[in-house]
Chain A
Amino acid sequence: EAQVTQNPRYLITVTGKKLTVTCSQNMNHEYMSWYRQDPGLGLRQIYYSMNVEVTDKGDVPEGYKVSRKEKRNFPLILESPSPNQTSLYFCASSHIGGTEAFFGQGTRLTVV
C-alpha cells in the first residue's frame, strides 16, 4: 500500500529538549516536504526536498532542521523546541514538486 508514515503520532516534550519526527514514503517520490497546521493559519510549509541531499526552506523554517540522506526518508529535527512550535505536523511526498502531494497521518506535538 502506497503511504507516507510519520512517527510518533503524538509527542509531549519540554522546552529545549531536542527531538526528531521521522517520515518515510514507499512511493519512490523525489519531492518531500514538511508542513505545520495551526488554527486560523492553515497549512504552512516548513522545509522541502527535491531529491537526496537537496533541501530548501519553506515559508516557516525558523527553529527547524531537515536532512535527506535517503530518498524514502525525510526527518524533521527540532534542536531546541519552544512552546510556539506546538502544532500539528504533516509530512508529504509527491512524484515531483508542484504535483499532487500525499500526506502522512500527522504528528501532534506539544512543547511545555
Chain B
Amino acid sequence: EDQVTQSPEALRLQEGESSSLNCSYTVSGLRGLFWYRQDPGKGPEFLFTLYSAGEEKEKERLKATLTKKESFLHITAPKPEDSATYLCAVVGNAGNMLTFGGGTRLMVKP
C-alpha cells in the first residue's frame, strides 16, 4: 500500500525566511510524485510532477526535488501570498490512483 507522510504539519515563517517542506513516501515503483498548493476553501492547484530521483523543478520561489525515499519543496524568500497548504501525492506502478499526504500548512508573516 502506498503511503505518504508530510512534515511538518504546520510551518510559520517570516517573510524572506527560506525553508523546506518534506514529503516521505513508500510506493512500489514510483510513476510520479506531485506537489499541489491548496488555498482555504479551494481545490488543490497543481504545481509540479517529478518522475525520478535527482530530478528538480522550479517555479518562482518554489523548487521541488526528489530522492528515492522523499521529496522536498524548498521555498526561497517566501512572501505572505505563499501562505497555503502544500500537498504531496504519489502514484505507483501498481495502479493509477494518487495517494495524498496530510499536507503542510505554511503561514508566512510580513
The interface of chain A, by Cβ under 8 A from chain B, is: 4, 31, 33, 40-45, 48, 50, 58-59, 90, 92, 96-106, 108
Contact = CB atoms under 8 A, between A and B. Distances in A.
Contacts, number: 58
A45 to B, nearest CB: 6
Contact of A43 (B41, B46, B87, B96): B87
Contacts of A42: 87, 100-103
Contacts of B45: 103
Interface of B: 31-32, 34, 36, 41-46, 49, 87, 89, 91, 95-98, 100-103
A92 B34 CA distance: 14
A96 B31 CA distance: 13
B109 to A, nearest CB: 23
A106 B41 CA distance: 7
